Amino acid sequence: MPEPELIASEQSEQDELLSSLQQESFAYFVHEANPANGLIRDKSRPDWPASIAAIGLALAAYPVGVERGFMTRNEAVKRTLAVLRFFTNAPHGPGSDATGYKGFYYHFLDMNTGRRVWNCELSSVDTAFLLAGMLVAQAYFRHETAEEEEIGKLADALYRRADWHWMQNGKAAVSHGWTPEKGFLPYQWKGYDEALIIYLLGLGSPTHPLPEESYTAWTSTYTWKKTYDVELLYAGPLFVHQLSHAWIDFRGIRDSFMREHDMDYFENSRRATFVQQRYAKVNPLEFENYNEHCWGITSSDGPGPVTEQVKGILRVFYDYIARGAPYGPDDGTLAPWAVVASLPFAPEIVLPTIENFERMSLRKPRMYGYKATFNPTFPVEPNREFGWVSLYHFGLNQGPIVIMIENYRSGLLWSLMRECPYLLTGLRRAGFRGGWLES
C-alpha cells in the first residue's frame, strides 16, 4: 500500500499539471478575442471568423478564470458585457447580412462586424452552446453592481428571444438550422448526440418552448449497443458524451430512457470513455501509438483529405470530420483535448493518459495547451515521432478543457447551472427525476 506522503505528492503533481493545462487552455479566450465586441475566433488562424459555440464556451470559462485567478472579476465582467451588448444590438432579421434571426445566430461571424460569413446557417446547436454560456454568466455574476445586474438582464432577454418552436419547422424534432437562401436544413436532431442541451434549453423556455413531445421524438431515435462487453447509449465521437455535460450535472438524474436502462447520462459517458480506451488497446486498424494511454477519437481536425500508402497499407486520411470509435471513421488522428474533457467521468484512466501526453511533449512549443490533434500514422517530412500535428487550436476544444477540469476539481459550472430556473424546468419537462433535482 503506498505511503500517505507518496500519495499526497502524486496528488500535488496532478493538481499542478491540471492547473497549468487549464490556465494555458484558458489563454485562448484571452488572446483570440475581439475586446470591442467580445467575439471569439473559431480557431487560431489569422483572419479566421468567430464561432458562436466558442463564444458560449468563453462565457462559461470566464467564471473559472476568475475563481482560479487567471482573470480579474472586473475583466471578466467587461468581456461578458461586451458579448451580451453585442448580441443585444446586432442586426437581427431574415436578411442574409445579419447576425441572427428568431433568437438564433449564424454559426460563423466576422470578428469585427459580427455579421454572417461563408453563407453559413443559423445553427440550433451552436446557439444552444452560446445561450448556455450566457446563462452561466447570469448565474455567476450576482454582485450588486450596475454591470453585473446588466449581465443578468441581457442574458435573460437573449435566452427568452430564441423561438425554439419555429426551429422545429413543423416537425417533432428540432432542425439543424436555417439559411435565408434555402430555408430550413433537411436534417433534424435525431439519435443521441450533442443536441441534448438543445432540447433541455428549448423545453425550459418561458416564451417559445419546445413541446414535451419533441423530447420523446428525439429519444425514440436512440441506439443502445453492446460493444466490448459494455452496454451503452451509443455515439461514436467522444465529444458527444461531453459537451452537454460541460453545463449539466447528470449524476443521479434520469429521464424515462435512462430509467429503463437503470443508469444515467453521466454513467453512460463514463462507459463511452472506457470503450474509447479499449478500442485503442485493441487497435483493430493497426494505427501507430494507439494504446491504453494514447487514445481520444472525436470530431476533429485531420491531415487529409488524402490517400497514402503507409507501410504497405493503403490509408485514407480525412480533414475535419466526426471521427468515432469503435465503428469509425478512424484514420489514426487523436485529440488530446477530448481525453481531458472526459476527466470527470473516468479520472482513473484519463489522468494517466494526460501524464503520457505530457511525456510526449504535446504542449510544446505552441500556446494554449495541447495541440488540437495529432496523427502518428500519417507520414511527414522531416520525420517526427508523433507524425502530423494540427497547426491550430479551436475554441470548441479549449472550452471543454477549461470547464471539465473545473467540474472535476470543484463542480463549479454544474453548481451554477443547478441554480438556473430555465434548465430546471427543461429537465423536469423532459422527464428527469431523482438526485439533486429532488433536493
Judge contact between 201 and 160, C-beta under 8 A: no
What is the pLDDT averaged over residues 234-251? 97
Whether the per-residue pLDDT at 408 is higher than 80: the answer is yes
Whether the per-residue pLDDT at 303 is higher than 90: the answer is yes
User: Residue 190, class by beta-carbon neighbours within 10 Å (0-12 exposed, 13-18 middle, 19+ buried)?
Assistant: middle
What's the CA angle centered on 386, arms 310 and 382, to 5 degrees? 70
- Sequence-distant (6+) residues with CB within 8 A of 90 are 98, 99, 100, 114
In the structure grid, which three cell numbers stand for residue 415, read together? 453548481
pLDDT tens readout for residues 226-242: 999 999 999 999 999 99
The per-residue pLDDT of the chain, averaged, comes to: 95
Per-residue pLDDT band for 397 (boundaries 50, 70, 90) equals very high
Please report where in the chains the cell 499542478 appears, as a residue: 16
pLDDT given at position 382: 84
Judge contact between 367 and 24, C-beta under 8 A: yes
Low-confidence winner among 214-228, 290-304, 357-371, 408-422 (lowest mean pLDDT): 357-371
Per-residue pLDDT band for 362 (boundaries 50, 70, 90) equals confident
62: nearest Cα among 37, 39, 80: 80
pLDDT tens readout for residues 1-40: 565 555 556 678 889 999 999 999 999 999 999 999 999 9
pLDDT tens readout for residues 91-137: 999 999 999 999 999 999 999 999 999 999 999 999 999 999 999 99
What is the pLDDT averaged over residues 383-408? 93
Low-confidence winner among 246-255, 271-280, 386-395 (lowest mean pLDDT): 386-395
pLDDT tens readout for residues 143-202: 999 999 999 999 999 999 999 999 999 999 999 999 999 999 999 999 999 999 999 999
Write out 119-136 in H/E/C secondary structure: CCCEEHHHHHHHHHHHHH
Per-residue pLDDT band for 367 (boundaries 50, 70, 90) equals confident
Per-residue pLDDT band for 337 (boundaries 50, 70, 90) equals very high
The rounded distance, in Å, linking the Cα atoms of 396 and 271 is 23
129: nearest Cα among 58, 77, 30, 45: 58
pLDDT given at position 1: 58
246: nearest Cα among 397, 88, 20: 397
Say how many residues make up the chain.
439
pLDDT given at position 33: 97
Per-residue pLDDT band for 386 (boundaries 50, 70, 90) equals confident
pLDDT above 90: percentage of residues in the chain: 92
47 Rama sector, left if φ>0, alpha if ψ -120 to 50, beta otherwise? left
Whether the per-residue pLDDT at 78 is higher than 70: the answer is yes
What is the pLDDT averaged over residues 398-426? 97
- Stronger pLDDT, 437 or 362, i.e. the higher one: 437
